[in-house]
Amino acid sequence: MTLAARMAPRLPPRLVTAAAALLYPRFEPELRRLADFCPPGGTAVDVGGWYGPWSRRLARRADRVVAVEPVPHLARLLSSTSPANVRVVQAAAADHTGTAPLWMPPGGRGDRGVSSLVRRGLHGSSLEVPCLPLDELRLTDVTLIKIDVDGAELAVLHGAEEILRRDRPALFVELEVRIQPLAPVLSLLDGHGYGGWVLPGRAWAPLSSFDLAGHQHRTGHVAEHGLLRRTLGPHERSIRYVNSVLFLPRESHPAPGGPRRLQPH
């Protein structure tokens, strides 16, 4: 267990929320580049809200933010600390309506951000939580869906296919080969006409020209370090572990001021 995970339950929740908001843009620099892929206005969806670093940033840009968080105490915290234009849904985004076991490390409460509907080796306990497809939320004008669900990405996407067809939102999806193979998600989104982009440095690169699996195998040791070490440790900050992919409709690319149409060659 990381230092941050041990400390979080002992600290005032609002302090942890503030620390996450401060540190996360250094941990996930794509969050500082929202303007490159998230148009102003509309509805943004934060699937896997955790302590709310994405929800709080998105609330500055979108008219409405819907944060979907299955861990009960985190959902309550999000509701009490988020800006007024953030709506919190205490549920797991999935491809069906009902309940499902949410898996987490032994003795954990969900603070580590590795809870999932898909059980992995690090999981040892579970909590029954409500689940629902994003399509059932009847959202309108969806501009962005951020997905951080540690292995349950396909179910989230299947549950949002109506939104994908209708609104063509940007998708920011955490994908890690140590958790699940990349091919099923890439194939599904390719079928919906989406292309992938990554941010390994200062410039966006097409996923087609970036060996994400090879990169993650080479830098996977960094993923074992906690949030504090990866954002404050001088050595860790010099190594970029890319574990999220931005998907845009294939005719678009990320750019300052918002996605732009690719120029034909």
H helical segments located in the chain:
3-7, 13-27, 53-61, 72-81, 153-158, 161-167, 183-191, 212-223, 227-232, 234-237
pLDDT attached to residue 122 = 87
Across the range 4-20, mean pLDDT stands at 63
Phi, psi of 157 (to 5 degrees): -65, -40
Band of the pLDDT at 261, cuts 50, 70, 90? Answer: confident
255 to 14, 24, 220: CA distances (angstroms): 34, 21, 28
Task: Flag whether pLDDT at 237 surpasses 80.
Answer: no
Task: Flag whether pLDDT at 170 surpasses 80.
Answer: yes
Q: How many CA atoms lie within 13 A of 10 on its CB side?
A: 5
Kindly tell me the burial class for residue 53, based on how many C-beta atoms sit within 10 Å of its own C-beta (0-12, 13-18, 19 or more).
buried
pLDDT attached to residue 193 = 98
Q: What tens digit of pLDDT does each residue of 84-116 get? A: 999 999 999 999 999 999 999 887 777 778 899
Task: Say what the pTM is.
Answer: 0.89
Across the range 30-37, mean pLDDT stands at 95
pLDDT attached to residue 26 = 74
pLDDT attached to residue 9 = 61
Strand-pair partners of 66:
45, 87
Across the range 81-85, mean pLDDT stands at 95
pLDDT attached to residue 27 = 75
Q: What tens digit of pLDDT does each residue of 129-139 get? A: 999 999 999 99
Band of the pLDDT at 225, cuts 50, 70, 90? Answer: low
d(CA 229, CA 214): 23
Q: Which amino acid is at 109?
A: R
- CATH entry 3.50.50.60 includes domain 3-251: no
pLDDT attached to residue 108 = 74
Task: Flag whether pLDDT at 234 surpasses 70.
Answer: no
Are 227 and 111 in contact by the 8 Å Cβ rule? The answer is no
Secondary structure (3-state) at 132: strand
User: 219, 221, 199: which is closest to 210 by C-alpha?
Assistant: 199
- How, if at all, do strands 170-174 and 98-104 pair? unpaired
Distance of CA 243 to the CA centre of its chain: 10
